[in-house]
Chain A
Amino acid sequence: MKKSRLFCLIENWFVAFLLSLAVPCGLLADDHDGMEKTAPAPERIISLGQTITERIYLLGADRNLIADTVYCVQPEDAKYKEKVGTLLQANLEKIVALKPDLVIASNLARPKQLRKLKDLGIRVVQFSYPKNFSEMCRQFLELGELLGKEEKAKEIIDNTKKEVAAIRMKTRNLPKKKVFIQLGIKPLHAVTRESFLNDYIEFAGGENIALNEGRGAYSREKVLRENPEVIIISTMGSSEGETGKKEKESWMKYRSIAAVKNQNIYIVNPDKICSPTPITFVEALTEIAEMIHPDFSDGELK
């Protein structure tokens, strides 16, 4: 959540004021934002998001991760951590009982619950959903700093940036292809400038047909009019199953679309492309670059 500093201050003050009015003893809201930089590396971390869990593992801080959500299944070891609920609805009691010194939440967490945790004196940090690749890198570095793993985070990000730059170099001179990444079937949802998924298309040398749409909602008519040369289906939930295949078949009926003529319709795993860590970003980017430019394989041009 983007908030100006002033609003943060006013809000914190306001809540502190309300609480001091409401509660006769204790339970005062601390200002946690001020101590983020100086605090020692946390030892008992709870993650409330699957991407956050993955990033913590990447940073090698998983020994300090004491609990995560039921949806945290990557990597394998994350499955066996204590579970504190889903990413939408965490179980506050359980979190408090585990005595964490840091709770890291995603943008999907309930604001009320986070407020409660803060009121109880637990440090809570929330990461928003990254809007683009550079924001994702920045968040990763921030997380590294938070967990006392700056070096490791920097190393991973440097590597990732190098690999991404290499792919961009290779695709730069290839002909730009019109690409449509489809997220969701009913309603049809496209990737816009607002989403970091747009960076996949741009870095892989494609042109996003829905780049300038304000909202993600998109129509089949527009797809026909824009006539994309590549369609990539990543339906939320189940694109690997029947749904993705059925969606592909339904596109095959529109023979006027270039992507249909050239058989350039692909199905990708949404978990892979929608919840990015620096590592999976590069993997997904390579995969998508291969879809957009069939000549481009294994990171090399044939």
Chain B
Amino acid sequence: MIDRRIRRWVMIIFILTVILICVSVISLCVGAAGISLKRIPHIMWEGRGSGEYSILFDIRLPRIILGFAIGGALSLAGTILQGIFRNPLVEPYTLGISGGASLGVCLNIAFKWYDAVGIIAYPISGFLGAVLVIVFVYSLSMKRGTLKTQGILLTGVMISFISSSLVMLIMALSRSEDLHGIIFWIMGSLDEPNMLLIRMAVIGALAGLVLSYFFCLDLNALALGEEEAIHLGINVEKTKRILFILASILTGLSVSVSGIIGFVGLIIPHLMRMFTGTDHRILFVSSFLAGASFLILCDTLARTVIEPFELPVGVITGIIGGAVFVYALSKKQVTL
């Protein structure tokens, strides 16, 4: 019985990894520059120096790596949060983290901090905004040493409303040059030039995946209900707190590097739950892999659908993700 389950899990991980590799290779091979497939081994053989090599490995590859990290981190965060809250509508952005990050970036643009610090001011201010919101939501929902899950949700939703209104206020008062900066950022994209940030995103996402595994069994118990989990001997408070902070940091990291890319953290966890079941031991890693493949695929489409335009990747994740999700939901007749 156990043997069969493990075999099934290994199979799932294997399939998802193969999909991830395929999507990455496809993404590396297609693009506006129109480099033919046959030439790619040749370009790789010749090595650095040619313009085509530069397109493949300095433009496309960093985007794929970042897509892997961000897609993985967001869907992992979504899985964790849906697990803690036992609420299918929760996603990383519900908790106001993205709102806080956008507010941070808007303030950076409006007060021209980037003039003083350089382009690195964007991710830093985004991350600071996200952290501030996390601290705020967290401390507001802590009552007598327990973390009220319903409280967190409501506070988070309200904080997102407040920050989006403040963002709107800043936009209304800002000059047209600054407006573009804000809109670009809100649309989100994976074209990050700074390799250090990309590395940080990858390391952060993988570290988050490893850390989450220390709590997968606790989260499984929590699925039965908080009372039941306590009776099973789980330290529910500690689990909730650590997982909440972990998911928030994963989200904050993704948002501050790539801007707001919606839907990945909502749809992928649901889709994976349909395929793999609700056991978090397999759900975490499969969501991570599926999220990574999904975002890389969406980014590839965003780059290539209407040449020479490059669409915001959030447009594609929303349309494709939403459509696939509704379809799967109607086919499977699953209750969430």
Contact = CB atoms under 8 A, between A and B. Distances in A.
Interface of A: 1-3, 7, 10-11, 14-15, 18-19, 21-23, 25-27, 70, 83-86, 88-94, 96-97, 99, 107-108, 110-113, 115-116, 119-120, 129, 187, 194, 215-217
A120 B33 CA distance: 15
Contact of B310 (A11, A21, A26, A91): A91
Contact of B177 (A107, A119, A120): A107
A93 B118 contact: no
A113 B59 CA distance: 10
Nearest to A108: B180
B189 to A, nearest CB: 8
Contact of B308 (A85, A129, A217): A85
Given A88-B184, A89-B309, A18 B196 contact: yes
Contacts of B176: 216
Contacts of A90: 310
Nearest to A97: B33
Given A22-B199, A93-B33, A116 B308 contact: no
A187 B116 contact: no
5 contacts: A7-B115, A19-B196, A111-B119, A116-B59, A217-B172
B34 interface: yes
A91 B309 contact: yes
A113 B48 contact: no
Contacts of B34: 97
A121 to B, nearest CB: 8
B184 A110 contact: yes
Contacts of B308: 70, 83-85, 91, 94
B309 A92 contact: no
Interface string B287-318: 00000000000000001000111100000000
Interface bin, chain B: 35 or more
B115 A27 contact: no
- Most chain B CB within 10 A, of A2, A96, A187, A216, is at A96
Contacts of B173: 215, 217
A216 B60 CA distance: 40
Given A22-B194, A97-B55, 12 more contacts: A7-B118, A11-B118, A19-B195, A89-B184, A92-B59, A93-B303, A94-B32, A97-B32, A111-B114, A112-B193, A187-B172, A216-B175
B233 interface: no
A14 B33 contact: no
B257 to A, nearest CB: 11
Contacts of A110: 184, 191
- Across the A-B interface, give the 10 residue pairs with the lowest CB-CB distance, nearest first: A22-B195, A97-B33, A11-B118, A116-B193, A22-B196, A93-B33, A94-B32, A115-B193, A91-B308, A93-B32
Contacts of A187: 172
A27 B58 contact: yes
Contact of A113 (B55, B115, B191, B198): B191
- Most chain B CB within 10 A, of A25, A88, A92, A108, is at A92
- Most chain B CB within 10 A, of A70, A111, A215, A217, is at A111
Contacts of A92: 59, 191
A111 B177 CA distance: 12
A17 to B, nearest CB: 10
A228 B172 CA distance: 25
B119 A115 contact: yes
A216 B191 CA distance: 32
A1 B178 CA distance: 11
Interface in B177-191: 177, 180-181, 184, 189, 191
- Most chain B CB within 10 A, of A22, A25, A93, A119, is at A93
Contacts of A108: 177, 180
- Most chain A CB within 10 A, of B34, B115, B118, B176, is at B118
A215 B303 CA distance: 36
B192 interface: yes
Nearest to A214: B173
A33 to B, nearest CB: 14
Interface string B150-187: 00000000000000000000001101110011001000
B41 interface: no
A149 to B, nearest CB: 27
Interface in B85-131: 114-116, 118-120
B321 interface: no
Contacts of B145: none
Interface in B32-61: 32-35, 48, 51-52, 54-55, 58-60
A184 B307 CA distance: 30
